[in-house]
Amino acid sequence: MKTEILKIAAAHLKPFLLILSLVVLYRGHNEPGGGFIAGLLAGMAYVIYAGAFGVSKAKQLRLAKPMFFMGFGIGIALFSGMIGLMNGADSIFTGVWTTLTFGDFSLKLGTPLLFDLGVYLTVAGMLVKVIFTVMEEDV
Amino acid sequence: MLGIVPASLFFVFLSKIPAVGRGDAFKEVYPWLSDLGIGFSFNLDGLSMFFALLVTGVGALIMIYAGYYMRSYQKTNRFFGYLVFFMAGMLGLVTASDWITLFMFWEFTSISSFMLIGFKHEKTAAREAALQALLITGGGGLALLAGLIMMSLPYHSFSIEAVINDPQPFLQSSLFVPATILILIGAFTKSAIFPFHFWLPGAMQAPSPVSAFLHSATMVKAGIYLLARLHPVMESQELWIYTLSVFGVVTMFVGAWFALAQQDLKKILAYTTVSALGTMVLLIGTSTAYSVTAALVFLLVHAFYKATLFMMAGNIEKITGTRDMNQLGQLNRFMPVATVISLLALLSMSGIPPMIGFIGKELMYEAKLNAPAAGNFILLTGFLANAFTVFVSLRFAYGVFWGKKQDFKKQPHEPDVSLLVGPAVLVFISLLLGIFPNQIAGLLGSAFQSVLPGETLIKLKLWHGFNEILLLSFLTVLLGVVMFVYRKAIIRIVCYLNSNYFNLKLSQRFFTGIDVFLNLTKKKTAVVQHGYHRFYLMTIFIAAALLLILTMPAVDFQFDFDLKFDGLSFFVMLAAIMIIAGSIAVIVAQSRLVALIATGFVGIGITIVFVLYSGVDLAITMVMVETLTVVLGAMVVYHLPKYLNYSGVGSRIRDGIVAVFFGFVMGFLALQTSKPTTLTKISDYFVENSYTKAFGENIVNVILVDFRALDTLGEIVVLALAAIGIVSLLKLNAQKKSSR
């Protein structure tokens, strides 16, 4: 499985896929995309990398801390639900929105996006953790 | 350092005493589940104040003690986390003014108690004791919840004040008897009342600060608090009065009896705690001005001397390495300060002047003399229990600080100052209050009003003059001393009786019961969870299909379909052919890998359909899931043997029938959904509100992250759990392999 072509492809695909996943995550609110798909994409980046270089190498990557991301993701998702409460909403997970503007460029941010970020991290973490473990078992 | 928080809380509460004494109420109300009449609300009245001071005051001293005591342990940050968690739970419990809030904090204390008893989790005994305590107090908690709900039903609210201000709807409701019994079970399990008392001696596996704080001074008093809180509602009820009296007396005596022959210092203290808790229940149940005063004073007294003694027992164990009476002796030479502190606490426990324990005991006798019913019997049992306590105290004092000379491995020495501060302060207060008891009359008075409104607190005095009560006290001490003189014979008799007649083995029986239950559930699980994946799938498919058929009449299902094939685009036809071809390939495939790839083919076909009908989100997800499935499947298939044994013709036909049946049901369902219907569609709501309310144009995503965010949160939690499950299974497998 460990061919040079796959190695080069995987190494270059990883940052591309990660950035793409972030784009997909952000645009999910208005256009096709969203945390779930983005999470799968980000996870894939690592899975492909592991496929090319082996799990032990992939595990040394800086962001390869799936268990942390899973917990963190659920934490963010929960926290995003609390923000509405703190702003005096009646129930948990009431959306709160603001728009950040930098000159001509404006960024619409809201708790649902934060929630989606949580979904993203959890899904990616889950995927990486499970597949890495399965791959380790293989060797 | 952690002692600062409870200490400052203590002073905050202290500063509120005059206000509470005037009847000012401190209320905090946060709306919670207001539709169900549940509020997250607190109220500080006399009784709450009394307990809150106890929790924070003793808590601060324990924190100082534990700070030094726990130094030799690992992971102490966890320990202090649990301890603070407990303290918060206990404070919430005693200040709650809503039954559900109270119940929630009640459970907090049970859980933290579990964590703390099992803190030395490498030891089997500690784990078992923790589990036992959790199951008993947790089970009692469930009973309590049921009882509280039953009690609150007539009020349409869970407010504690509602019941106390107007008990009649509850007293006349048909659920009065079951609710009362369930609440009593809750209180009795928590406060280790016979026959639930056995978890408390087991809980002595916890480190000493925990025993001193949770299992003598505070947590076990939660049940007493609940009884005291409910007393104004129940005081006229015979069921309440008799149950409390009977169980109180029995526990008082049983606890004292089993304390007689114990060798372990902490076990001795645990059994005397059981006895003390029984006494408190009895005193509340007696329901006179004397008895309630006695109960409150005794509660305070007991918390002081018992916390002190537990801390001293911890010190002794730390320094000598044992808490077995047989291996201790002559410690007065090595630790004079500790000896003096312990002796004063033991004096208080035996009820000897000038300690406040004496006042507590005098009041107890006075209450029992004035008890409305069965006074003589209660008096006699109480007399014996007290004499036993005197005997135990003497034994403790003599056996540990004098007695035989022992060879210690290390030379014993005085405990560190921070290990002595807590006990010393508590003992000093006991002494001071013994001499000037009226200093706390104000506090006790307002607590008294919450338990027995309409009566007044009995005046506290150290000296009552020569009367029958003083005589009783004197006789108690005398009997204790006489028993002590003949201690060898007495202990032998008690041991003989215990092992031959009173060997209840409640603890073992409890675990046997648990084992029986576990075996039952194992058998049940083995039937349902047989481990054959193909049968699981079959069960799921058949059940889903049948349920769908069952619901069909409800949605006005009709079997006339207008299938039109013209107007389908070329691509859709192509996708359909792909799906059909893939499905056939799966069935006829000669190897697993081919079958797997063929399912991937089907998946891609479906994806194309999604793309064509503008379900782009679904399509993207589908592509990725399909790809991953095939990749993962390929990894698994790689390890499996080749298609060695085909499934037989019979099972193939069976599988085929299930598959076709399920396929037809799903197909009909899909066709049905395309027909116009009279039912309102929920999707309309989402389409209308997606942009206006949630500022998103991608409806699917808005549903996921906004309208139905809570569901999604549940899903990602399930995902994470599944990941943990898969990983631990695989790791377990790897471990097995490497150990082979």
CA distances from B223 to A22, B183, B205, B268 (A): 54, 10, 21, 21
CB contacts < 8 A, A to B, total: 134
Element (H, E) at A97: strand A97-102
- Averaged pLDDT for residues B394-419: 81
Q: Using the 8-state DSSP alphabet, how is residue B486 labeled?
A: T
- Overall size of chain B counted in residues: 740
pLDDT in tens, B22-35: 666 677 777 777 77
Q: Binning pLDDT at 50, 70 and 90, where does residue A91 land?
A: low
Q: Across the strands, what pairs with B96?
A: B42
| Residue in A21, A24, A30, A78 to test binding to B, most B beta-carbons within 10 Å | A30
Most confident listed range (B100-114, B194-208, B695-709): B100-114
Alpha carbon of B308: minimum distance to chain A alpha carbons (Å) = 42
For residue B687, give the 3-state DSSP assignment: helix
pLDDT reading at A96 higher than 70: no
pLDDT greater at residue A47 or residue B555: A47
Q: What is the pLDDT of residue B1?
A: 61
Q: What is the pLDDT of residue B679?
A: 57
Residues of B in contact with A31 (CB under 8 A): 697-698
ipTM: 0.79
Q: What is the pLDDT of residue B739?
A: 64
Q: Binning pLDDT at 50, 70 and 90, where does residue B681 land?
A: low
For residue A102, give the 3-state DSSP assignment: strand
Placement of tokens 């202990």 in the chain: B491
Of B624, B709, B731, the CB nearest to A37: B624
pLDDT reading at B589 higher than 70: yes
Cα dihedral sign, B371-B375-B381-B383? positive
- Averaged pLDDT for residues B317-345: 85
Q: Which residue of B has its CA nearest to A37?
A: B621
pLDDT in tens, B149-159: 999 888 888 88
Q: Across the strands, what pairs with A105?
A: A102
Instruction: Let me know: does B196 contact B189? Beta carbons within 8 Å.
Output: yes
Pick from A60, A17, A36, A50: nearest CA to A126 = A36
Indicate the residue type of B699: I
Query: Where do the domains of chain B lie?
Result: 1-234, 239-485, 489-529, 682-740
pLDDT greater at residue B36 or residue B301: B301
pLDDT in tens, B392-401: 999 888 888 8
pLDDT greater at residue B442 or residue B164: B164
Phi, psi of B522 (to 5 degrees): -65, -45
pLDDT greater at residue A92 or residue B344: B344
- Averaged pLDDT for residues B259-285: 90
d(CA A95, CA B575): 40
Lowest mean pLDDT among A85-99, A123-137, B238-252, B616-630: A85-99
Q: Binning pLDDT at 50, 70 and 90, where does residue A101 land?
A: low
Cα dihedral sign, B163-B169-B171-B177? negative
Cα dihedral sign, B604-B608-B609-B610? positive
pLDDT in tens, B449-478: 888 887 777 777 777 767 778 888 888 888
pLDDT greater at residue B404 or residue B49: B49
CA distances from B508 to B128, B199, B645 (A): 11, 11, 51
pLDDT above 70 coverage of chain B, percent? 89
d(CA B715, CA A84): 21
pLDDT greater at residue B280 or residue A100: B280
Q: Indicate the number of domains in chain A.
A: 1
A67 is in which domain, residue-wise? 4-138
- Chain B touched by A129 (CB under 8 Å): yes
Pick from B343, B400, B364: nearest CA to B476 = B364
Phi, psi of A108 (to 5 degrees): -95, 120
Residues 6+ apart with CB under 8 A from B276: B252, B255, B298, B302, B306
Contact B695 A113 (CB under 8 A): no
Q: What is the pLDDT of residue B336?
A: 86
pLDDT in tens, B716-726: 888 888 888 88
- Averaged pLDDT for residues B76-85: 88
Instruction: Let me know: does A128 contact A46? Beta carbons within 8 Å.
Output: yes
Within 13 Å of residue B6, how many CA atoms lie on the same side as its CB?
27
- Chain B touched by A39 (CB under 8 Å): no
Q: What is the pLDDT of residue B325?
A: 82
At residue B556's C-alpha, the angle toward residues B554 and B558, to 5°, is 135
Q: Which of residues 51-80 of A touch B (CB under 8 A)?
A: 66, 70-71, 73-74, 77-78
Q: Across the strands, what pairs with B41?
A: B29
Average pLDDT, chain B: 83
Contact A32 B616 (CB under 8 A): yes
- Averaged pLDDT for residues B581-607: 84
Q: What is the pLDDT of residue B102?
A: 93
Number of Cβ within a 10 Å radius of residue B669: 16
pLDDT reading at B182 higher than 90: yes
Residues 6+ apart with CB under 8 A from A14: A45, A46, A48, A49
- Averaged pLDDT for residues A93-99: 60
- Averaged pLDDT for residues B300-322: 89
Pick from B269, B124, B137: nearest CA to B210 = B269
What are A112's two structure tokens? 């649902």
Q: What is the pLDDT of residue B187?
A: 93
pLDDT reading at B183 higher than 90: yes
CA distances from A45 to A2, A10, A114, B632 (A): 16, 8, 22, 15
